[in-house]
Structure 1
């Protein structure tokens, strides 16, 4: 859930990178990469004997074929369209001799329109069920109904969207360049341009995925009759991204004012240095909070043990859920357990199990995969620290912005594997005991003399 600490900025490090991947194409290229990643997620998980269709609430009628095959075909078509359009841009726009520094082109806009029509076309052609399912999920996510039912598939989609938060900010600037400024693609690489309320709408678009997840968490809390504090803690995690985004945007405005006037106005209650320190504090909170939540709650790999009860059902509070809902373990009273833990620190006679405990039931056979995933998640959650070095201006490195965005997408790709694996293990722990109980009850009802007629 890392946030771009510099805000949505489409400046390109060098002319060579701009020629290779123009800023107007960056959002759609990253969306295509995300679609390929999701298809490979489902393909690999199904090969690992995880029923992703059941986890995502796909009806049994759709299980006759692999759910990842349509995604691969859709991704292939979209990637082909983007590649052909990008090749035409290289050849006929960037390769053309121009007398001005401003390049006009409608090719990128045509690419976005054509890809959008393919994905959201209402006709019963080209994998209509998959496209319609995605459209319904998007409608639920962007609905203003705070009390709308939250399905597990919607939670996963919204979490994936948070990794594209910076891309949404880029998308607003791209639309501004292609529609409002009539195809002036160089508009994106001019720092002082602020048309289309770029300084305001950029952070708003970046915040949109976090607002969606915040809304989902609040409804899940209300749906639990205000008894499950875990959803409030999860909402706080997403809310911790808002100060980072807003302070990043404020730093950009402050930098422009300093370049123009030499100093910030007297009406500002905080200086440039204080603004940077405040931003750095919230970045640390957001990154640390998000990493701990990944490994302890989303993946359920490392748990904080507050009681001596090791029963999965009692310690984690697993209850019966709709098969389309998430079955994430929910402590019955997290705050009460924290009080018990704190009180035990002052009561040496109270038996206390180890504070950190690794999950016992693992679906993947090699534990090194889980350890490696936690290390990768930690490193990529804290890549923001590269931008804190006073001797290194990473914004000046060629391709730094798109590299950071790609790394966040890669981190989310790894996250999806273990999020669905955790959900599969938890549902198996709930369902299998019930199946065993039904078998035992059936055996008791059978005749003892062996005559089953």
Structure 2
């Protein structure tokens, strides 16, 4: 009816990520049968059809053009919507709009950068699927970028609709925009249907569940994702405040700005949510110590515990008198912030990356562990060490309470922390890849060494052979 049999390619990401191996095998068998049938019939693609189909490069350029046109339209509509408001209401409204949408925008940025990570690993022939114990249906960097592209389209579109409807007096419709967006994201993650990369979504959910309840042995993917979650503590804090306002029907209002509001800036839930990723990572370290008995895991747990006083001392600004905050709690907060930043920086360089630069100035203490696959130049290591120190201190400074209402500064600092974690991923995976290679080389070298029985048999055969030769050809 539509021109004959159409076969799906065997390397389709929807088949590989959504369906099982049985489906992939059946599709592959069907494709082979159809190809053989076409060959027997002598079928060939008409020249007119090949001329009508656009080239992949032209199609890709057309999609990029549409993407930028849509982004320009959203920016123009959003700007005119903001300019329609009064100056007094504009700042409060933008603060609320950023609160609802900046968590998802930061998650979108993280997804884009994760795709870049996977692309670099694939170019450097790093078997990241083996490192993270992924199955054959795992997402590649192209599919990660495809997800990031849809997120980049959907989230700003919802934000533009929110700005436009609110500025034109449609408050109820404006309030429904973030609610619908958050509900759609939740349904997308937990959907049991075999669509939208089901196996990858459930892999993420299972890993998150193991992070929350570390009841079994900790794998590399468990504490790797938990480390990334510590960089997204601000995202979780804003998510909590956004969901709180949706539940209490405070969206598109300024009732939440009052000090006694349940979802206001004085809420006790804010520091509790901020500290959760560090608590999860702390208990992971204790579980590792129970399983392995390595004392370094206790030192790692101590590192995550240093973030607790930073968060709670910062939150005291809203619950104590200004004089007590200035004279007592702010100096303690500064001391704990410096301790957390330096400790975390030291652990990144010497443990997570295993560069050991503190043994010699501007020299690597363990050069054999430095990657020869990804980053061959030493200036790359010097750059990431210096930028990691600066961004560590910046991320700790973000936890200061007096920045809570400066949404643009907070968004910029949170984006810089995600970029710092993006750099951290390269060197953390590099270190793990080097460890796996060194272990495999040691196992191969051990297998090449003959055991004692082989040595004895070899020596006996040699003696028997020499005795036979002497008997056959006496001197």
Please give the TM-score of this superposition, normalised by the length of structure 2. 0.69
1:376-391 matches, cutoff 5 A: 376-383=387-394
**Which of structures 1 and 2 has the larger relative contact order (alpha carbons within 8 angstroms, sep 6+)?**
1
Contact between 1:158 and 1:209, CA under 8 Å: does it hold in 2? yes
Residue 27 of structure 1: aligned partner: 103
* Aligned-residue RMSD, C-alpha: 3.5
The structure-2 alpha-carbon separation of the partners of 1:170 and 1:397, relative to structure 1 and needing over 3 Å to count, comes to closer
Aligned to 2:262: 195
Equivalent of residue 151 in structure 2, options 60, 70, 78: 78
Q: CA deviation at 1:436?
A: 3.6
Cα distance between partner residues in 2 of 1:17 and 1:295: 42
Please tell me whether the aligned partners of residues 310 and 333 of structure 2 are also in contact (alpha carbons under 8 angstroms).
yes
- Matched pairs, number: 364
Note the 1:102-251 alignment, pairs <5 A: 105-143=175-213, 146-184=214-252, 186-187=254-255, 190=257, 192-196=259-263, 199-224=267-292, 227-251=293-317
The alpha-carbon distance between structure 1 residues 194 and 356, as it changes in their structure 2 partners (threshold 3 A), is farther
- Is the CA contact (8 Å cut-off) linking 1:13 and 1:397 kept in structure 2? no
Aligned residue for 1:358?
365
Match of 1:433 in 2: 442
Q: CA 1:185 to 1:368, structure 2 compared with 1: closer, same or farther past 3 Å?
A: farther
Q: Is the aligned partner of 1:56 residue 2:123?
A: no
Q: Secondary structure at the match of 2:268?
A: helix
426-435 or 357-366, larger mean C-alpha shift:
357-366
Deviates more, 1:68-77 or 1:42-51: 68-77
The verdict on how the C-alpha distance between 1:233 and 1:28 changes in structure 2, with shifts beyond 3 A counting, is same
Report if aligned partners of 2:314, 2:399 keep a CA contact under 8 Å in 1: no
Structure 2 runs not aligned, ≥5 long: 1-87, 463-475
Residue aligning to 1:327: none
Counterpart-to-counterpart distance in 2, 1:177 and 1:137: 28
Cα displacement (A) at 1:19: 7.8
Question: Bigger CA drift: 439-448 or 403-412?
Answer: 439-448
CA contact (8 A) 1:206 1:245 kept: yes
Cα-to-partner distance string for 1:50-82 (whole Å, 9 max, x where unaligned): 1111110113x337xx63333222222333221
1:210 and 1:435 mapped to 2: Cα distance? 39
Q: TM-score, normalised by structure 1?
A: 0.72
Residue 43 (structure 1) shift: 1.5
Structure 1 residues 133 and 13: alpha-carbon distance in aligned structure 2, compared to 1, 3 A threshold: farther
Separation (CA, whole Å) in 2 of partners of 1:74 and 1:87: 20
What are the Cα deviations for residues 271-297 of structure 1, in whole angstroms up to 9, with x where unaligned? 532111011110011011000000000
Structure having the higher Rg: 2
Structural mapping, 1:31-42, within 5 Å: 31-42=107-118
User: Which structure shows the higher helix fraction?
Assistant: 2
The offset of 1:168, in angstroms, is 1.0
What is the aligned counterpart of 1:284 among 338, 344, 347?
A: 338
